[in-house]
């Protein structure tokens, strides 16, 4: 067999936008459930449409939810509801999601589509900063270790605070997912090559990624899909 001597030991496989588009067009969009497509399209004119979970990361989330038979979940950072709807579509009829966001207005865009999809009764949307809600849940002992799945996609500077609390709420064997852990590639760039408005959260993201990697209470996997997704499985 001939080997290309120019091939690096660790080639970066997603070398181009075309390759990413190939994945979207070939594998992701053809399988995207119609209500999710509708919600994504309804969110497209929002000035922060880029907030929406990348559909390829969503596809992975959907599979993980099924693999762990998630029934009780929590989401921090809802925006118009793409990840929330996909969670609701992938948990059983009697599943429950606590979904927290400070912005009710953005959720108003996705809510009618969620209602139409018949999954609203699984969702408890709470308009609030997430930390006090998590603290309230922790006060109630019957909540400890009862969540199967948590998705964190909100203020990056609080990821470490969310992690400490979610480690008590999610059961052993349950999953904790953290989104945007590659921060548009900024985590691997020198600080002076990153636009000033991205520097503060770049540092928080780098610190969080290192801290969670050092946390031996979880098994983890950093997946380069979407804008980076760290998947943790609670071990103890």
* Residues contributing to the site for Ca ion (CB under 5 A): 153, 179-180
Stretch that binds ligand SAM, among 12-20, 48-56, 61-69, 228-236 (CB under 6 A): 48-56
Q: Determine the length of the chain.
A: 236
- Residue 17 CA to residue 23 CA, distance in Å, equals 10
**Residue 78 C-beta: closest distance to ligand SAM, Å:** 6
127 binds ligand SAM (CB under 6 A): no
Q: Is 127 exposed, middle or buried (0-12, 13-18, 19+ CB in 10 A)?
A: middle
Select 22 or 50, whichever has its Cβ closest to ligand SAM: 50
Binds ligand SAM (CB under 6 A): choice among 28, 61, 106, 123: 106
Q: Which of 44, 14, 3 is nearest to 185 (CA)?
A: 14
155 binds ligand SAM (CB under 6 A): yes
Return the one option of Ca ion, ligand SAM, none that residue 57 interacts with (CB less than 5 to 8 A, by type).
Answer: none
79 binds ligand SAM (CB under 6 A): yes
The contacts of residue 59 (CB under 8 Å, 6+ apart) are 27, 28, 31, 32
Return the one option of Ca ion, ligand SAM, none that residue 145 interacts with (CB less than 5 to 8 A, by type).
Answer: none
Max Cα–Cα distance, the chain, nearest Å: 63
Q: Is 44 exposed, middle or buried (0-12, 13-18, 19+ CB in 10 A)?
A: exposed
Interface with ligand SAM in residues 86-105 (CB under 6 A): 100-103
Residues of this chain that bind ligand SAM (CB under 6 A): 51-53, 76-80, 82-83, 100-103, 106, 129-130, 153-155
């Amino acid at each position: 067999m001939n080997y290309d001597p120019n091939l690096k030991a660790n080639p970066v496989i997603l070398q181009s936008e075309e390759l990413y588009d190939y994945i979207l067009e070939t594998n992701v969009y053809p399988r995207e459930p119609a209500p999710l497509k509708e919600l994504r399209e309804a969110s497209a004119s929002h000035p922060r449409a880029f907030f929406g979970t990348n559909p390829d990361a969503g596809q992975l989330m959907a599979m993980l939810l099924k693999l762990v038979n998630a029934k009780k979940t929590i989401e921090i950072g809802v925006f118009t509801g793409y990840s929330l709807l996909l969670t609701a579509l992938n948990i059983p009829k009697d599943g429950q999601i606590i979904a927290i966001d400070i912005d009710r207005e953005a959720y108003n865009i996705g809510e009618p589509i969620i209602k139409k999809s018949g999954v609203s009764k699984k969702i408890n949307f709470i308009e609030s900063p997430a930390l006090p809600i998590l603290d309230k849940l922790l006060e109630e002992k019957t909540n400890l270790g009862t969540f199967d799945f948590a998705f964190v996609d909100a203020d990056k500077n609080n990821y470490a605070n969310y992690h400490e609390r979610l480690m008590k709420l999610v059961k052993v064997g349950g999953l904790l997912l953290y989104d945007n852990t590659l921060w548009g590639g900024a985590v691997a760039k020198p600080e002076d090559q990153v636009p000033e408005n991205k520097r503060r959260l770049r540092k928080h993201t780098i610190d969080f990624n290192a801290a969670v990697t050092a946390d031996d209470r979880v098994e983890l996997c950093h997946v380069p899909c979407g804008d980076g997704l760290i998947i943790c499985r609670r071990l103890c």
